[in-house]
Copies of this chain bind each other. A is one copy, B any other.
Amino acid sequence: MFRISILGSGKVAWNLAQALENEGHCIEEVWSRNPAHANALVDHLYAAQVQTHLDFSNSRASVFLISVTDAAVEEIARRLILPQDAIVAHTSGTLPMEVLGPASPACGVFYPLQTFSKGRRVKFDDVPFCLEATSPETFNQLHKLAASLSKKLFKMDSAKRKVLHLAAVFSCNFTNHMLRISEKILEKEGIDAQLLNPLIEETIEKSMEAGPENAQTGPAVRRDMEVVAAHIEELAASPQWAELYYLISQDIIRLHKEK
């Protein structure tokens, strides 16, 4: 059992704190730039306290997880005062481990490769954790902590993690945005977007089984340029989407040629 403090109250902090408690760890304090947000998270925890300043020298926690927007991590690490021998780790996909240097000699990265939302529970045992630390001892501690949540643990340096995070943006955030655009296109015509669900499910299942290269279908990959042109014309009132349609189709054709 670890005693842990959480810095941050966003989607990752929200999910991680509750999952850690469920596995028997003790969340000591929650700090957030906005104390009301820390309060809201603490309300979902057993015995955690809201902490309003960054001096944790009296904390009983031995692990401090910084789970805030990337731009804020460096400043927090500089202002953070930790108990002796405490480990500090961030949960960012993109930031190097080194930004935590000013906070403690024992620092690391604790990056869960998943999309989190408040009000939606994620099965953590399936979530890949990418871990990194300044020393084997610190790594072992973070590994032990991650192992209590998930069976998929990876040692990964900051450069590789950054690439993984970039790939995750395409396969998660941008994939979701494609679904958003298609929903909005249908909304305008009063067509229920749920009609697409069997197509979306089959698309993803096929893509994961056969690989996206073999799974591709549609007008671009079969070079049905009349359909491509007709669709772009249909999007005349949404120039951003017409441009995306054109560029993604070009890219599908380009990769297919290289095949």
Q: Which residues of A contact B (CB under 8 A)?
A: 10-11, 69-71, 94, 113-117, 120, 122, 126-128, 152, 154, 160, 162-186, 188-189, 191, 193, 195-204, 206-208, 210-222, 224, 226-227, 230-231, 234-235, 240-241, 243-245, 247-248, 250-252, 254-255
Contact = CB atoms under 8 A, between A and B. Distances in A.
A11 to B, nearest CB: 6
A154 B226 CA distance: 25
A243 B234 contact: no
Contact of A163 (B189, B198, B254): B189
Chain A contact residues: helix, strand, loop or mixed:
helix
A169 B127 contact: no
Contacts of A166: 185, 231, 234-235
Nearest to A254: B240
Contacts of A167: 181-183, 185-186, 191, 193, 196
A196 B182 contact: no
A178 B171 contact: yes
Contact of A169 (B113, B218, B255): B218
A255 B180 contact: yes
A200 to B, nearest CB: 5
A207 B179 contact: yes
B176 A207 contact: yes
Contacts of A193: 167
Contacts of A231: 94, 165-166, 169
A168 to B, nearest CB: 6
Interface centre among A115, A174, A189, A222 (most CB of B within 10 A): A174
A74 B200 CA distance: 30
B243 A247 contact: yes
A114 B202 contact: yes
Contacts of A240: 247, 250-251, 254
B171 A203 contact: yes
